[in-house]
Amino acid sequence: MKPGTQIAYIPLHAEGDINHPDVEFGFVVSERGDAHFCRYWRKGHLGELRTVANSELTPTNNLVEYKSVSQDVVDNLVLGFLFQVLPI
């Protein structure tokens, strides 16, 4: 997965169920070994970042590609991170 790839984080206890209430949606910011730094949307507010301070390291095996918002929204945020307008 590359920066800007939209994802769903499915925790182990959800047993692969993307409709589980603990699933979180967001996008990849960068890769680190067998994990990815991701940014997540606020629950119930897709397109609104949960935190503006940092990305969260997430094991790759808990991520699936899943488009939850317009790719333009994600691309604009990723560009902001790259140009350090927003913190990674």
Domain regions of the chain by residue span = 6-82
Q: What are the backbone dihedrals phi and psi of residue 25, each rounded to the nearest 5 degrees, phi first?
A: -110, 145
User: Contacts from 72-77 at CB under 8 Å and sequence distance 24+?
Assistant: 73/47, 74/4, 74/6, 74/27, 75/4, 77/27, 77/39, 77/49
The answer to whether 49 and 19 are in contact (CB under 8 A) is no
Q: What is the pLDDT of residue 86?
A: 54
CA 12 to CA 4: how far, in whole Å?
Answer: 24
Task: Return the pLDDT at 87.
Answer: 54
Band of pLDDT at residue 78, cut at 50, 70 and 90: confident
pLDDT of residue 60: 96
pTM for this entry: 0.89
Q: What is the pLDDT of residues 39-77, one digit of tens each?
A: 999 999 999 999 877 899 999 999 999 999 999 999 998
